Structure 1
Amino acid sequence: MDDLVVPDGAARPGGPARPGRVVAVVPLRDGSSGKSRLAHVLDPASRSRLIAVLARHVVGTLLASDGVERVVVVTSDPRFTWRALRDVVVDESAAATDAAGTDGLPLLTDDADRLRIVLQPADRPGLDAAVDVGREIAAQDESTEGPVRLLVAHADLPALTPADVAALLAEDAPVVVATDRRGAGTNLLVLDPPASAPSSTGLPSQSGSERQEPRARPGRGHGGEGFRFRFGVGSRAAHVAEAERLGLRAVVVRRPGTAVDLDTVEDWDELPADARAVVGLHVPALRDRDA
């Protein structure tokens, strides 16, 4: 199995995104418990604003990317998530007009019907479980519309661009890992079928009262077990090993827009100036560090 690392800033040969329906899954915990490593420079309200602006950027970028059919956000706090993503789904100019008394209701954007916000079940906690929930939702309509390619993206990538998304989707490999700037983590992950299918292969029987025995398929491990998410410390190596377990080729990609997340002050210092400017508008305490 190949493990190909593309150096920072290097362009890869190839054309547009490969064919296939793409559903993006974005796990987002809540607006209060994240970014704890920035607690010494940001108060709770500032950290909440930071989580919101980063999530809004990532989801907006995914919706603006060619080839992404829809975005599923899996969260333990749907109310916070809806507030954070309001600008993505509501036409603010129309809302202002409505407030003046023309219609009375704000208008939704063209992207509103491509975004789904889903509550993460309390009995399925954790990042890997959240992504699994998104994968299951992405697969729900496969029977009528065909299998999907899965794109998993963390919600804190302030430099992510549609060009980055297109580059990942154009990679000719069943598993694509976009690593962080240290080369150890996984910031985005692309899975082609059958790896993009939910791990469970038990299917409803015709009566609906029984389950068929799992059936092994290509790209699955023993007993029909599918690709297992391994986010966390060392996830780049863990995801490559998971692809190897299933006999699938993995490509590891490092691009400036996919490599930088925002968890620490050091991450902030590594951000391009334009990304710092956008984030700093909403989080002055970070902006003031550059003064």
Structure 2
Amino acid sequence: MTFLKLAKLVLKDSEIPLTVSEIWKIAVNKGFDRKLNSQGKTPSATLGARLHIIARDNPDDIFKTVGSRPKRFYLSNKNYDIDFSEYEVGKTEEETAIISKNELNHKYSEKDLHRFLTHFAFFSLKSYTKTISHSKSDKKKYGEWVHPDMVGCEFPIDEWDDNVLKLSSSIGNTSIIIQSFELKKELNLTTLREKFFQTVSNSSWANESYLVAAEISEDEEFMQELKRLSRGFGIGVIHLDIVNPNNSKVLLQPEYREILDWDTLNKLVLMNSDFKEFIKRIETDLKSHEIRKELYDRVFDDEDLIKLIKNVS
């Protein structure tokens, strides 16, 4: 059983929209969780991410949402004898537990965003990430603006047959996608060019490069310039929603580069032990045909991420 099939079975028998936690509780009571084809340690978090992503990115799908904080799910092909407006208003315990961006008052750091990006990359990009510690880099040897904040790898292992993997490896083509991420708390017109070109310098060696931020200006002039730079240099932009992590999304798609910049890869391996470990981990996982998830950055669920931001504020 898949997570979406589990959710569909639960919602089919419900006369009202349900939150992720309610769907999961009913599924466990009915024994659906034991039929899942999943080895993850936080299946309820995986369920929530899958539902949020498909409802957000696939408007023609049967899963729909109503309300916010908490968001509730229902099926578009089911008739409900209820007033949906009741779920659009009112304050619940879950809602009061979640802080607003105004309450954060910029007290969180860029480092706090790493867990949010790991969550988003795993559930939305199907990527396994690694934080690259600046303190472990020999900047004297190679200078500034070479070092990425985080890197990620999307594997074909989950989708490819072992025989296809072995053949692709033997001819040097495994179709992995290596990503590089530059994280910032805020993007606005005043500092955009500096932060953007730092990303170009740090990340353009990868198959996909991203500039990532939690607060992105909605100013029209800023957005036009951001789109122009993104198109011109092939850099994608990710917005991390620190109030509702499952609402994070890719605002601008990156250009895919088929060939990695091997010279820069070599520089990064020589200058930073975290990056060297990341490259060795990819090689080992490809050879074993098994992704050791626990050896990459830990994937926290959305509730833990919200608690993290509340504590720092």
TM over 0.5: no
TM-score with structure 1 setting the length: 0.28
